[in-house]
Structure 1
């Protein structure tokens, strides 16, 4: 018997000759994976299939084990003691908690903002390890959404009554008032109800026994075909700042995400529906209310009368959106005794922003002197193709030589205003001397 151990072939060529490993250098797991994958895909391979499949399972298991080991290592490095606990024994200094590594309010380890998702991503870690060269993207959705496909019109949505509670760290957005769904494609088709007030088509009546029943109608629907619109912008950031999770999160949350959210609100309200998203205020068929000429109604009263108009259309309003200047006038409205009518205690920072039972959203995206009142979840749906996607790259003009990177944020969405009668546009009367 030979003193040399038999070298086992790691595969076979198409002509049947065995393939032996390179002397002095064992193949890596990735090399073994690629080699086995090539053999499995080779229709002319005539080696031992059972042995090849066993090797594939073995390499797959080792790769999975390596991934789990890496994940456990990262989790261990990110682990922190609860506040107030003593540092670990042995004189070691407790590791400072890094930005973006905090659990959410339920104790879950997953990120709760797009910035946290970005700084925690394996893509960013790889980008840094690679000398911050190339380009990568990270997508994040604030909340999971079911996938709904569209044919000639969207499937009927499950509508949740009321308004979702707002994030305590951010103001309530117009987008939060709408029903939100996910689109699988780039073209959006939906049916818009143009039947008019329910009093014109609702023929329901008490019918005597044996008599003919009345038919309601006529109904009118327009098939609206549009596309999802991309909202995006970017900011430069130095390579040094890109190594700091705190600065990265500040750029993403403080500038990029805020900019996208503000523009989204603006588009939901006033988008032209062609080159831009479909705005509710620019949709034909919404109701309007303006105090009659010579009226002395203050804005507080105007909103109440517009609410009645929405209720008479049989679409109960749930919220009103207005400019901060108009909301200021309403909050500062006083009675004859000099008491504020809307807020009794101005020192209470947690006072709810509500008026006549309606949730109030204030935004500079709404022009002063105008407000939008309506049943937002009943009247419109925000369709989103993707959540906020953050991209980082060093490939932009002369930024490479200036040690500067680019962070870009984008999202794709559009609004389907399928029931215009659910909304009332309010025009406040001009102030009188």
Structure 2
């Protein structure tokens, strides 16, 4: 009986052993040629296996029930519910990517699979040997507010082309300190307004990132993979971004609005026990007097609870007329209300968010996958990492008012 021919894996291991042997004295050029041939054969075998899996999972048109040996199309592999081929979430963008497909075809070996999905408007990304230019903000462009789901959506959002952000911060203060405009008699000298003061702020974009381990089986299933990306990774980044916008220290972290010097403050006078909804109204007036009409307020859920449960002498709610309409937009005194545990209880931040600050993003959310981490390779486990780069330009601090509520009696 003729000897059994060595398998592709056996041939591969033999060549690897020769390449690793510093004392190998054979024909090195021939060895390299054999390595290339075996690599090509292994790639072809993996492609055939991948095509076979795809064919077995295909469902014939008009037959909604899977046939024996077939699988239903996995989520993220086809059009969305509106028939659009474009992905609608970061998770769908990742599971539909060519990078992930190629990574799966290699059996999750070798280079990482990666895709970037920009939630912000796409900008120009400079690559190669040319260093990226700093992004200098030319001016302030207010925009109309909308109903946000996150604190980040209260801000004007722009895309940065560089890694360093430079912008002018208006420190002139209230209008009364610089506006000398007046009615002038003919021939008389005109008054001079000012002084106007601006600080040039130079900072870097900050990276927010985290990762989770997933098994190879989970990574090969679109439903589980999308669950990890949407349910854990993306949510975690948005959760952290909201906190950075409010309380980032501006050095090792993003620039937080509450940590920016020059923002207004309002606190009821000592001994005043105004209800929280009255305090908010008075703070709104302070913002309007500074000529930056507020459009939204961020507060802790406990403080919003106190406002919604506030009743008059007859036991009637002051803010809401019916407790059954739980899906109505949260508003008070014409302001959009965003509740977040990122805001400390007993305080709130009211302001003209789109006039006062801009969220600059170098990239949206980037998803990376690899098996090259610590001991996870031997545990048959992969790493899925999500990250984004951004920072906040608080160019008009006077547009914000920090509220400190009086203690309840």
TM-score by length of 2: 0.80
Determine if contact 2:211/2:386 at 8 Å carries over to the other structure.
yes
Determine if the alignment matches structure 1 residue 192 to structure 2 residue 175: no
* CA deviation profile, 1:140-178 (whole Å, cap 9, x unmatched): 012424559976841235432122x44xxxxx1110000
In the alignment, the residues of structure 1 paired with residue 177 and residue 344 of structure 2 have an alpha-carbon distance, to the nearest angstrom, of 33
Residue equivalent to 1:240: 217
- Of residues 179, 199, 217, the one that matches 1:202 is 179
Secondary structure of the 1:306 match is helix
Tell me by how many angstroms 1:106 deviates.
5.5
Q: Which runs of 5+ in 2 are unaligned?
A: 1-39, 41-53, 126-131
In the alignment, the residues of structure 2 paired with residue 80 and residue 349 of structure 1 have an alpha-carbon distance, to the nearest angstrom, of 44
Structure 2 counterparts to residues 355-366 of structure 1, below 5 A: 355-366=332-343
Tell me by how many angstroms 1:337 deviates.
1.6
Secondary structure of the 1:226 match is strand
* CA deviation profile, 1:48-105 (whole Å, cap 9, x unmatched): xxxxxxxxxxxxxxxxxxxxxxxxxx9xx99998xxxx6479x999974421246457
TM-score by length of 1: 0.75
Determine if the alignment matches structure 1 residue 211 to structure 2 residue 188: yes
Q: Which runs of 5+ in 1 are unaligned?
A: 1-30, 32-73, 167-171
Residue equivalent to 1:155: 138
In the alignment, the residues of structure 1 paired with residue 154 and residue 114 of structure 2 have an alpha-carbon distance, to the nearest angstrom, of 29
Tell me by how many angstroms 1:203 deviates.
1.2
Secondary structure of the 2:173 match is coil
Residue equivalent to 2:16: none
* CA deviation profile, 1:218-240 (whole Å, cap 9, x unmatched): 00001111111010111110111
In the alignment, the residues of structure 1 paired with residue 277 and residue 391 of structure 2 have an alpha-carbon distance, to the nearest angstrom, of 32
In the alignment, the residues of structure 2 paired with residue 356 and residue 332 of structure 1 have an alpha-carbon distance, to the nearest angstrom, of 16
- Of residues 79, 85, 92, the one that matches 1:109 is 85
Residue equivalent to 2:402: 425
Secondary structure of the 1:181 match is strand
Change (3 A) 1:305 1:145: farther
* CA deviation profile, 1:8-56 (whole Å, cap 9, x unmatched): xxxxxxxxxxxxxxxxxxxxxxx9xxxxxxxxxxxxxxxxxxxxxxxxx
In the alignment, the residues of structure 2 paired with residue 322 and residue 87 of structure 1 have an alpha-carbon distance, to the nearest angstrom, of 52
In the alignment, the residues of structure 2 paired with residue 337 and residue 360 of structure 1 have an alpha-carbon distance, to the nearest angstrom, of 26
Tell me by how many angstroms 1:108 deviates.
2.5
Change (3 A) 1:247 1:341: same
